[in-house]
Amino acid sequence: MVSMKDIAAACGVSVATVSKALNNQEDIGEETKQRVKKAAKELGYHPNASARALKTNRSYNLGVLYREESGSGLTHGYFSQILEHFRTTAEHAGYDITFLSNSKLRKDRMSYLEHTVYRGMDGVMIAVADYSDPEVTELLDSRLPVVTVDYLYHGRIAVMSDNVEGMESLLSYIYAQGHREVAYIYGEDAMVTTNRVSAYCRFFENKKIPLREELLQRGRYRDSYTAGILTNKLLAFNPAPTCILYADDFSAIGGMNAIKDRGLRVPEDISIAGYDGILIASQLEPQLTTYRQDTSGIGCMAAQELIRLIENPRATPITQYMMRGELVVGGSVAPV
């Protein structure tokens, strides 16, 4: 079996230099790094993960907690993109990822924390979870490095989409088009939902527009069926809203279908807007006005901060990062 010592001899460098080159460390020149990597490939060198783990006291394995309740799984337009950018960033740094499970269907059922110990995980990103679950709290309160996405927890690094700024950006555009009766179909109880509803209420309060409670309707994230039912409910009001804002783009599609089923047109008869900025929003007719969240930035930042916390915990501050997205103006909001 080819060793780093063999590569060092072939390149005329030290074993330490070979190790640094293969681990992409920055304190050696790029030319030397490429020469070492080329020699390693030609000699048929394959790193031994077990030996690496023994030497560094790390498994180079990151856990991902993703308990998504809408049934979308890994096809979820928002979280799938975050997970993909988290994965590529982690892999670039030499880490693998494993999904955490506490399934009651398993004979060897373990809590989330027990699973991390069993798999020897170096740290965990919590992408989606039920934060009222005692097993999630146990994980958060453990000594394991943890980064959360879209959730604040005392003593933990959090990477957040700036939902307040996102709502204000959408509502400012809708308001500028002349809309004053704007309904909002929001999702289930969560920190994201609380921030968005608060931003909605504050926006109209600042504009001195009385809040119509009936224009705030509780739906479900990524539930086009419920969105359609609530859309019909809103359209039956007198006066009906001139614009309906949905919790996500997928729900907006359900609303758009319900509007068309009533023989109405978007945006000629009623305007709509979504949230997330998933790919399908740009394929609709008319193209959906929405707010594109920075899924790339969130996923990359979560991975970078988790790895930094693992590799250099004393120099990694507990910080909350707010990632801003961008307004995407389509053709679904008409001036009134």
Q: Is residue 53 part of a domain?
A: no
220: tokens are 């479900």
Could you give the CA distance from residue 236 to residue 134 in angstroms, rounded to a whole number?
42
Number of other residues whose CB lies within 10 A of the CB of residue 32:
15
Within a domain: residue 246?
yes
For residue range 147-179, list pLDDT tens digits in order.
Answer: 999 999 999 999 999 999 999 999 999 999 999
Q: Which pLDDT does position 247 carry in this prediction?
A: 96
Tally of domains in the chain: 3
Reported as a pLDDT band with limits 50, 70 and 90, residue 70 is low
Per the CB < 8 A criterion, the answer to whether 235 and 132 are in contact is no
Q: Domain span at residue 157?
A: 61-161+296-325
Let me know whether 228 and 279 are in one domain.
yes
pTM of structure: 0.82
Q: Which pair of structure tokens corresponds to residue 241? A: 């809203």
Average pLDDT of the segment spanning 45-64 = 72
Percent of the chain at pLDDT above 70?
93
Please compute the mean of the pLDDT values over residues 54-64 and round it to a whole number: 79
* pLDDT tens-digit series, residues 294-335: 999 999 999 999 999 999 999 899 999 999 999 999 999 999
66 domain-assigned:
yes
Please check the confidence at residue 72 and state whether its pLDDT lies above 70: no
At 234, the pLDDT band (50, 70, 90 cuts) reads very high
In this prediction, residue 24 carries a pLDDT of 78
Tell whether the model's pLDDT for residue 67 goes beyond 90.
no
Residue 49 reports pLDDT greater than 70: no
Asked whether the predicted pLDDT for residue 48 surpasses 70, the reply is no
Are 286 and 300 part of one and the same domain?
Answer: no
Task: Round the CA-based radius of gyration of the chain to a whole number and report it.
Answer: 25
Sign of the four-CA dihedral 24, 30, 33, 38: positive
Q: What is the pLDDT of residue 74?
A: 67
Is residue 85 located within the same domain as residue 178?
no
Q: Are residues 96 and 243 in the same domain?
A: no
Residue range 189-215: mean pLDDT, rounded: 96
Query: Could you tell me if residue 9 is inside a domain?
Result: yes
Say which CATH number the domain at 95 has: 3.40.50.2300
Residues 6+ apart with CB under 8 A from 152: 158, 160, 191, 320
Please give the average per-residue pLDDT across 240-251, as a whole number: 97
